[in-house]
Structure 1
């Protein structure tokens, strides 16, 4: 909302709700993209490492229109490595993606909030 003080002492208010909503949405989309990259980095550090193929297959993606983000690992064994709790690893371990999201939940929220605030100029 914008205010204008007139010479006669009156105040004129203009509602910019559509522009504000669009800016907030752009900020949220940017925050989601940054958050997905952040979670990807944490998940890579938590993932098992043998040859490095699993860690190197990690990808962060986002859809600004739907305000969705995803982190994925693209190897034939990524799901099995993630879910199998009985595997023993020298580095990393099971539930690497799940643990990354759980531990970084507050950081993800702060990243998105910061980008919305930045887009709104606050």
Structure 2
């Protein structure tokens, strides 16, 4: 009769998965930021340069934000005219297009952690 030992490190595995997911969220937010920067209206470039990402590890959420006094107005004003390829809703409009890549980036980080 053979014997085998199994040592379960559930807490270690859970921690590794969580940290991998956080890395994936950050990479995903950076990807969405890059895509939105391709659409952000440009006058002087200040709005584009103000883009940033953040990850809240407690809630496992990522955010893309632009930090100028007029960022919200430019994002929401559907009546404003912009250069070709630039538009209002420059963050919101890229989310459906980047969703698959976002999922893949997070999944790849988790797979890497489980090796």
SS at match of 1:9: coil
Counterpart in 2 of 1:3?
none
Counterpart in 2 of 1:5?
none
Q: TM-score, normalised by structure 2?
A: 0.92
Question: Larger Cα Rg: Structure 1 or Structure 2?
Answer: 1
Q: Which runs of 4+ in 1 moved over 3 A?
A: none
Counterpart in 1 of 2:81?
88
Q: 2: CA distance between counterparts of 1:89 and 1:65? A: 38
* Counterpart among 47, 55, 61 of residue 68 in structure 1: 61
Post-superposition offset of 1:17: 1.2
Post-superposition offset of 1:80: 0.9
Post-superposition offset of 1:62: 1.3
Q: Would you say how many aligned residue pairs link Structure 1 and Structure 2?
A: 114
Post-superposition offset of 1:66: 3.0
Counterpart in 1 of 2:37?
44
Relative to its length, the structure with more strand (as a share) is: 1
Counterpart in 1 of 2:3?
10
Q: 1: CA distance between counterparts of 2:107 and 2:61? A: 15
Q: 2: CA distance between counterparts of 1:65 and 1:14? A: 28
Q: TM-score, normalised by structure 1?
A: 0.87
Runs of 5+ unmatched residues, structure 1: 1-7
* Counterpart among 72, 96, 107 of residue 102 in structure 1: 96
